[in-house]
Chains A and B, each alone.
Chain A
Amino acid sequence: MAERPIRVLIAKPGLDGHDRGAKVLARALRDAGMEVIYTGLRQTPEQIAATATQEDVHVVGLSCLSGAHLELFPRVVQLLKEQQADDIVVLGGGTIPSEDITALKKQGVAEVFTPGTSTQEVVEFVKRTVQL
Chain B
Amino acid sequence: MFDRDALQKLEQRKTAWEQGPVAKAMERFGERSEEFRTTSELPVERLYTPLEVAETEYERDLGLPGEYPYTRGIQPTMYRGRLWTMRQYAGFGTAEESNRRYKYLLEQGQTGLSVAFDLPTQIGYDSDHSLSRGEVGKVGVAIDSLADMELLFDGIPLDQVSTSMTINAPAAILLAMYAALAQKQGVPLDKLRGTIQNDILKEYVARGTYIFPPQPSMRLVSDTFAFCAEHMSNWNTISISGYHMREAGCNAVQEVAFTLANAVAYVKAALDAGLDVDTFAPRLSFFFDAHNDLLEEVSKFRAARKLWAQIMKERFGAQDPRSMMLRFHTQTAGSALTAQQPDNNVVRVTLQALAAVLGGTQSLHTNSREEALALPTEDSVRIALRTQQILAHESGVVNTVDPLAGSYYVESLTREIEQRVLEYIDKIEELGGSARAIEQGYIQREIQESAYTHQREIENEERVVVGVNKYRISEEPPTNLLRVDPVVERQEREKLEQLRAQRNQAHVDEALEGVRVAAGGQENLFPRIQKAVTVYATLGEICDVLRDEFGTHQASVVF
**Cα distance A42–B478 in the bound complex, in angstroms:** 29
Chain B residues lying within 8 Å of A14, measured Cβ to Cβ, are: 119, 134-135
Instruction: Name the one of B131, B133, B452 contacting A24, with C-beta atoms under 8 angstroms.
Output: B452
With contact pairs A116-B340, A116-B468 given, residues A38 and B557 touching in the complex (Cβ less than 8 Å): yes
Per-residue 0/1 for B409-429: is the Cβ within 8 Å of any A Cβ (1 yes, 0 no)? 000000000000000000000
B134 and A72 contact, CB distance less than 8 A = yes
Per-residue 0/1 for A23-52: is the Cβ within 8 Å of any B Cβ (1 yes, 0 no)? 110111000000000111110100000000
Asked if A20 CB lies within 8 Å of chain B CBs, one says: yes
Interface range on chain A: under 10, 10 to 19, 20 to 34, or 35 or more?
Answer: 20 to 34
CB proximity of A123 to chain B, nearest CB, Å:
10
Chain A residues lying within 8 Å of B119, measured Cβ to Cβ, are: 14-17, 66
Asked if A129 CB lies within 8 Å of chain B CBs, one says: no
A40 and B339 contact, CB distance less than 8 A = no
Asked if B8 CB lies within 8 Å of chain A CBs, one says: no
Instruction: Name the one of A15, A26, A116 contacting B135, with C-beta atoms under 8 angstroms.
Output: A15
Chain B residues lying within 8 Å of A20, measured Cβ to Cβ, are: 247-249, 335, 451
**Cα distance A26–B559 in the bound complex, in angstroms:** 8
CB proximity of A103 to chain B, nearest CB, Å:
12
CB proximity of B439 to chain A, nearest CB, Å:
15
Main secondary structure of the interface of A (DSSP, over half): loop
Chain A residues lying within 8 Å of B448, measured Cβ to Cβ, are: 23-24, 27
Report A's interface with B, CB cutoff 8 A: 14-20, 23-24, 26-28, 38-42, 44, 66-68, 70-72, 95, 97-98, 114-116, 118-120
**Cα distance A102–B284 in the bound complex, in angstroms:** 47
B459 and A119 contact, CB distance less than 8 A = yes
With contact pairs A23-B559, A118-B459, A119-B455 given, residues A17 and B209 touching in the complex (Cβ less than 8 Å): yes
Report B's interface with A, CB cutoff 8 A: 119-120, 122-123, 125, 131-135, 138-139, 203, 206-209, 247-249, 335, 338-340, 372-375, 448, 451-452, 455, 458-459, 468-469, 477-478, 481, 483-484, 555, 557, 559
Chain B residues lying within 8 Å of A17, measured Cβ to Cβ, are: 119, 203, 206-209
**Cα distance A115–B139 in the bound complex, in angstroms:** 17
Chain A residues lying within 8 Å of B372, measured Cβ to Cβ, are: 95, 115-116
Chain B residues lying within 8 Å of A98, measured Cβ to Cβ, are: 477-478
With contact pairs A15-B120, A40-B555 given, residues A116 and B338 touching in the complex (Cβ less than 8 Å): yes
**Cα distance A101–B547 in the bound complex, in angstroms:** 37
B338 and A15 contact, CB distance less than 8 A = no
Instruction: Name the one of A26, A41, A71 contacting B133, with C-beta atoms under 8 angstroms.
Output: A71
User: Which residue on chain B has the smallest CB distance to residue A38?
Assistant: B559
Chain B residues lying within 8 Å of A26, measured Cβ to Cβ, are: 559
B455 and A66 contact, CB distance less than 8 A = no
**Cα distance A42–B468 in the bound complex, in angstroms:** 30
**Cα distance A71–B373 in the bound complex, in angstroms:** 18
